[in-house]
Chains A and B, each alone.
Chain A
């Protein structure tokens, strides 16, 4: 069974720093990998979707990379802001329309 791990579970950085969040998965037979943001008491908002044939995707200050063979993805956030504070989750999609989620990294950006 696919296992998705996100380390660290929590991260605190000063405003303006660049940071990297990590996601690893055990089964490389994935269709895609998706990064989400979740604010307290809210649903999950899709940030970036990387198809299995792609290496990276960018949206504004966010850049996500995918190395399927090594079972790793990173989410790079440039010039972090207090508004980036949230929990970030990654999920992989496998055959059969099954999604597997990490437990998330809770990010705090300190003004």
Chain B
């Protein structure tokens, strides 16, 4: 049972470097999300995609970009990493689109440290 796979699990990165966090789901969910989790701030939505080919900005999108070329993959890119992007990043997915649906599933997270 795979569910949502994130890679890498952990990464230390120099400031200014470009980094892509990968996320793949095998549940054929239409909606996918990227959150960051920081102590004291909880989970904050970075970007989301309601269906392949579309993306939207969440609460904290600055410095991040996403793409959704197909149903399964939703990579998150940091174009030029800064220390404030040190965080744990979670990818999530749900089958959404009707009023009675949408259980949210999470990956195991990617711990990113920017020095």
Binding site for B on A (CB under 8 A): 31-32, 34, 36, 41-46, 49, 51-53, 89, 91, 93, 97-99, 101-104
B50 to chain A: which residues have CB within 8 Å?
97
What are 10 sample pairs from A and B whose C-beta atoms fall under 8 A apart?
A32-B103, A46-B103, A46-B106, A97-B48, A97-B96, A97-B102, A101-B42, A101-B43, A102-B42, A104-B42
Binding site for A on B (CB under 8 A): 31, 33, 40-43, 45, 48, 50, 90, 92, 94, 96-97, 99-109
- Whether B108 contacts A99 by the Cβ 8 Å rule is no
Q: What DSSP secondary structure best describes chain B's contact surface?
A: loop
Number of interchain pairs (Cβ within 8 Å): 55
A51 to chain B: which residues have CB within 8 Å?
100
CA distance in complex: A95, B33 (Å):
15
